Structures are given as C-alpha cells and as structure tokens.
Structure 1
Amino acid sequence: MNWKPQPGDQIADRYRLNDVIYADESLSLFAADDLAVSSPVLVGVFGQEDSEPFRASDTAEKLLRLQHPNLASLSAIDLWRGRPFAVGERPAGRTLRDVGSLSGMRILMLINDLSAGLDTAFAETSLCHGLVTPDLIVVCDEQTPDERFVTLGFGMRALAGPARLGPPVPNGANFRTLVFCSPEQLRGEPLSRPSDVYSAGAVLYWLFTGHPPFSADLGSTAELLQSVASRPVPRFREFVSEEAVNPVVESLVLRCLSKQPQGRPTSVREIAEILEEELRIDVPRAAVAPNHQSMTESGDRSGESERMPPRAEPESVEAAISDSPQTDGPNTPARDAE
C-alpha cells in the first residue's frame, strides 16, 4: 500500500486532513475536521497495514472507553485504504505553543493537569502517551475559573508502535515534536513512563527558558538524534539571567532530562509535588477538582475559585521561576527557534 496521507485528503468520506502536526514512518498526526458534525478533531494515520483485529484489540477497546477531563478522548479507531487510523477530540482553545508564556501558578496547574490525565490513563490502560509536546496540549476555558489543560492524542503513539524516523516534513512539524522526545524513544525503543517524564521536563524547559532542550533547526534528523543522545542539556543561564534561575527548579528540570530513564523522577506527579513544595503553593488537583483559578500573565487573578488558597506574596511564584512572566521574558518561548 503506497498511499500516504496528505493535507487535503478526506478519510472515510468524513474526516478532512488539514495541517500536519507530526509525521514519521509509523504515525502521521493531522489537525482535521469531522465533516459529519462540523467539528475539529485530531486524526492519526498509522504506517502499518492491518485488518479487523486491530480495531477489536483489547488496547483499542480500553482507549475508546478512556475518559478524563485532562485528556482528549479517542472517538474512533478504524481502517481506510488498508491503513488503520484513529480520531480524537480537539477541544476549543489555543495550544500551549500558541499561548506561550504562563505565570508560575499556571505552570503548576499545567503539570498537575498533565499528571492527572497521564496517571489515570496509565492506571486504566497500562499505556504511556509518547508525544507530550506544546502542540498537543490545549488550554481550555482560558483565563476563567474553569481553565484546564487538556492533552491530545493519548494512545495514538501506542497504537502506531515505536517511532520510525523518516525525512523531515515540509513545515518542520516532526522536528518541533522530536525535540521533546526522550533519547530512548528516538532510538525506537518501546514507550515507558520515564519517556513521558522526559517530555514533561522538556516542556517545562521550553516554558522557563524560551527554547527546547535542543535546537529544532538542526540540519538533519541524525544531528538531532546525536544531540539528544550525547550532548549535555544547556543550563538555564544560557538563555536567562543568573538572577532569574531558581536552582532547585533548574535541577528538577535537568533531572527530568537525564539521558538515562532511571535518573529521572518516577512520574509527572513527582515533578508536580517537588514544584509545589519549592514554590510553596497548593494547586488544586485536577483529578479531584478540575475547576482551577487562572491568572493573567502580569500576576492578576482573572477569576476567583474557592478552592484556590490566597497568595500571601503575589510576586513570589514568578520571582522563583523567572525575572518576568511577561512578553520577552524567559518564560516566553521563542517561536523562531522551533
């Protein structure tokens, strides 16, 4: 089967593929439209040819049953032209890449929401995500008391199997994703929880410094693989002022980015707990209380939640993480690097 999905293709007479979000030889992810209900969706087309057992597998059934407020659910797993594909929700809201800068409080909310979704999914399916990136995290109900972070595409990497890297796609989408993937994942090894910890740490690094751990404009996939496998991760001070760096936060993020899985925190939940302890802020746990109070980038509260504890020192969180949470500060990702 030589068919390869492209933007503009229509799958199963229902799903129109739009922008490429990520592509390798085993998985292509697209922002798409469900024409039957006029709704945006995420479509993953898998590289392997398969048949009916794929749809009827225990893994597929578990994924279709999975529901969590911080995970976009899969709505369909099917076949088209001999190729399996999956369809997932794409809720309204901007992606984390589009939002860019987050205040300290909202970074903690992000990690708590990410942990809540991934922990629930692992408990119910024994699967990991494998593609935790700013392009697959959506900020829903932004700047309201109900703000939450929703991770898209859970299960698609697991269904597709390990990454089989091919040439870069024209819009650079695969490089923008690969810079958030762990060394073992880039080597094509099976997914594991430490891989998701690495990716969560890479997202934090991007938020705190404005750059991914390794450059997204390297000349080839081979160069990127070599950098991720062997180069040390640059310290925060290479991108932000020395005064802006909290050494405990930096140490935590760099531990997440350890080359060896056993050197990382055991879970995203552990990352959240260390951040909360260091910043001395109690953030409502999404699994218990999905409604969160959000903050503007200047630190003003835009919606009050009864579950949110008062802040005795309004600027302490931002000061602990960076010298400014506003535009052009270290907490503002530089898009031209990606």
Structure 2
Amino acid sequence: MPGEGDVLRGRYALLRRLGKGGMGTVWAGRDEELGREVAVKLLDAGGGDQEWPARFRREARVMAMLRHPNIVVVHDVGEHDGTPFLVMELLPGPDLGEIVRQQQPLPVSWVVEYGAQIAAALARLHQEAAPVVHRDVKPQNLVLDLGGVLKLCDFGIARLPTLDLTRYTGTGARLGTVVYMSPEQCNAFEVGPPTDVYSFGVVLYELLTGGLPFSVENGLQAYAMQVVGRTPPPVGERRPGVWPELAELVHATLAKRPESRPDAGQVHAALTAMAGAAKTGANVEAEVQAELDRIRVKLQTGRGAEAGMRLVRLIVRARTGLGPEHEVTRQVVTFAEIVRGGPAT
C-alpha cells in the first residue's frame, strides 16, 4: 500500500494522511504536474472482497459525471503498484459535524443557507434519468471549501439503480450510517431518492436542535427501531422559536413513507426562498437599527420634534418589515415609550 512520500503514477505525491472514507484512505497530496494541492483516495484491501475494486471504480464514475458546485470534483483516477486511487479537489473543511460540535444548535439562518446547498447537491444526484442515491448523507460527508461552499463527498456506497445491486451490496444488506438512515434502509428495503431526503432531514434536525431525532442510549439497533416506528419530537419543542415553515419542512422530509416526502428539488426551492427572506430580514434589521441610532442623535441635539416624526415612521417600518414580535421591533417600541412617556401606538 502506498504511503507518505510516495508519488503515484509519477505525478501525485502523498503528503499526509487525512482519514478514512468509503472503501479507502484519504491523503492530502500534490499534483506535481499542475502544482496544485489535491486529495487522493487509496483503495483499501476490502477484506478479500472480489467486488471491492469494481465498487471503487464505480465511485469514480459516479462522482465524475456529477458536475455541480456543491459536489466534490474528481480530477483523475488510476492505479499504482496494483492499488487503485482517486484524485479529487482538496477540501480544507471543516465538515458540518465539526461545526455542530463547536456550536450547537446553529443559527437558523446558517441552517437554511447550508440546507439549500445540500438540497441543491441532492437535486443534482436525483435528476439523472437513472437517479443516483448517495445513501450516506451525514454531516461528516458535507465539507466546506476555501470559499465557504458546502460540498457533498464520499460516494463509496452510492447507488445507480440501473446496475445489478446484488453484485455490490448483497440481498437485504443495510448500507449507511445508522443514525442517519431512513426507515426503508433500517428495514433493508429498496432505496431511492427519498432515502437521501430522509437522511438530509435528520441532518437539518440535528443542525437546528443540536441533537438527533431519537436517543442512542440503548444502542443502534434500538435507534433503528425508533426510526421505523416512532415520530420524532417536534423541532419546536427542542428549540422554541424556529420558523414554523422550516420546522414543517424538516418534519415533511422525515415522513415514514418515502412517497410522502418532498423531493430534493422541492426542498431546495423552499429553503432558497427562506434564505432570501432571511437576508431581506437581516437588511431590514440593519436599516431599522441604523435609523434608531440617527434618531437618538437628533434627540441628543435637541431636535425632538423631527425625531418624534421619524420614530413614528420607524415603528411602522419595523412592524411591517420584521413583524410585531421581532426583538428589534420591540426595542424600537420600548424606546418610543420611554421618549414619549407612554405606550407607543
């Protein structure tokens, strides 16, 4: 097995080991010909599995055909001293799993933005005439690039429905990470695009609440039984104040029956609309805060009449642009009550 310092096929130098991926070990490397950093995935032995190299080549083909800004880019594939390897763009990270460990739960605006990117990647997978099913959507397989763009990685167990899957998985095999598996995966039933949507819903649930939908205290088998037979606690119970439309979308993706879930394109459209609304809300919030600061200055300089008129207009702007219950709206109203010595209308 090649290791640190080896140069694969006279071109790709292995610099340092990054970790394990589906079916292989991932290294940070350098493309000596183009002078760029890359990630190199080396095929593991596979425990003598004769189909292991075929799966690995299949992963390369799947990734190479899925050109999308939110899917990791494949540069090359080859073999070195009998070991197949895959060359990809090097993603500095962190992955979403690390982000959740550092800050949980995440701000709702972050969840919506990240979620829209994940949904875009899944929509690309599923739009193929023969849809690709990733089967292992989880925070650790969602990694940030240098520009802060989220990329879906590790297609080692991805499914192409046109292939004879029994050659690759065996009858009744369960592939994936248990806590992100769909009910159909837990039951070892046939999987399809809705399977990825369910796993994505678990990721959204975790990003919003800081925890998984069910407890793992009694082991993974018990967790899988809950996935099949129980409804997750409402997002709003775990985290009060989450936008109702977002909580509703998350629970739609976690429907037990695959046909009851929205598809990835629908989820992407909904999250993109929410992201746009969030940005608009942020702009209005900044606008209201800036105007409130200007009004304070006018009051301090003895221009109370002008400040009063502008304060009336600002209350209307805050209530219509942010909503009457928004924290900034309440701040403006409270300020107006202090200035006037009575309730603001």
TM-score (norm 1): 0.61
Structure 2 letter corresponding to 1:225: A
Percent pairwise identity: 24
Asked if structure 2 preserves the Cα contact closer than 8 Å seen for 1:89 and 1:152, the reply is no
Pairing 1:154–2:155 present: yes
In the alignment, the residues of structure 1 paired with residue 17 and residue 174 of structure 2 have an alpha-carbon distance, to the nearest angstrom, of: 21
Of the candidates 237, 255, 260, which is equivalent to residue 263 of structure 1?
260
Note the residue ranges of structure 2 that are not aligned, 5 or more in a row.
Answer: 161-167, 290-321, 327-345
What is residue 336 of structure 1 aligned with on the other side?
Answer: none
Structure 1 residue matching 2:277: 3-state secondary structure: coil
What is residue 50 of structure 2 aligned with on the other side?
Answer: 49
What is residue 124 of structure 2 aligned with on the other side?
Answer: 120
What is residue 249 of structure 2 aligned with on the other side?
Answer: 252
What is residue 277 of structure 2 aligned with on the other side?
Answer: 281
Of the candidates 114, 135, 140, which is equivalent to residue 140 of structure 2?
135
Structure 1 residue matching 2:127: 3-state secondary structure: helix
Pairing 1:94–2:94 present: yes
Deviation for aligned residue 1:76:
5.4
Structure 1 letter corresponding to 2:214: F
Deviation for aligned residue 1:193:
1.0
In the alignment, the residues of structure 1 paired with residue 244 and residue 23 of structure 2 have an alpha-carbon distance, to the nearest angstrom, of: 38
Alignment size in residue pairs: 266
Structure 2 residue matching 1:92: 3-state secondary structure: coil
Structure 1 pair 312–107 and aligned structure 2 pair: CA distance change class (3 A): same
Structure 1 pair 99–180 and aligned structure 2 pair: CA distance change class (3 A): same
Asked if structure 2 preserves the Cα contact closer than 8 Å seen for 1:86 and 1:156, the reply is no
Structure 1 pair 43–234 and aligned structure 2 pair: CA distance change class (3 A): farther
| Per-residue CA distance 1:22-42 (angstroms, 9 max, x = gap) | xxxxx5465444487674445
In the alignment, the residues of structure 1 paired with residue 244 and residue 143 of structure 2 have an alpha-carbon distance, to the nearest angstrom, of: 29
Structure 2 residue matching 1:138: 3-state secondary structure: strand
Structure 1 pair 261–28 and aligned structure 2 pair: CA distance change class (3 A): same
In the alignment, the residues of structure 2 paired with residue 179 and residue 33 of structure 1 have an alpha-carbon distance, to the nearest angstrom, of: 29
Structure 2 letter corresponding to 1:222: Q
In the alignment, the residues of structure 1 paired with residue 275 and residue 69 of structure 2 have an alpha-carbon distance, to the nearest angstrom, of: 25
Deviation for aligned residue 1:263:
1.4
In the alignment, the residues of structure 2 paired with residue 79 and residue 85 of structure 1 have an alpha-carbon distance, to the nearest angstrom, of: 6
Q: Residues 1-338 of structure 1: matches in 2 within 5 Å?
A: 19-20=19-20, 28=23, 30-34=25-29, 39-41=38-40, 45=44, 48-50=49-51, 61=61, 63-75=63-75, 88-100=88-100, 101=103, 102-124=106-128, 126-141=131-146, 146-154=147-155, 156-158=157-159, 161=169, 164=173, 177-219=177-219, 221-240=220-239, 243-267=240-264, 269-277=265-273, 281=277, 311-313=283-285
Deviation for aligned residue 1:54:
6.2
Structure 1 letter corresponding to 2:249: L
Deviation for aligned residue 1:196:
1.1
TM-score (norm 2): 0.60
More helix by share: 2
Structure 1 pair 83–165 and aligned structure 2 pair: CA distance change class (3 A): farther
Asked if structure 1 preserves the Cα contact closer than 8 Å seen for 2:94 and 2:143, the reply is yes
RMSD, matched Cα: 4.3
| Per-residue CA distance 1:108-162 (angstroms, 9 max, x = gap) | 2212222322223333562122111111111223xxxx43111111364337547
Note the residue ranges of structure 1 that are not aligned, 5 or more in a row.
Answer: 22-26, 167-173, 284-307, 321-338
Asked if structure 2 preserves the Cα contact closer than 8 Å seen for 1:49 and 1:82, the reply is no
- Comparing both chains, which one has the higher relative contact order based on Cα–Cα distances under 8 Å and sequence gaps of 6 or more? 1
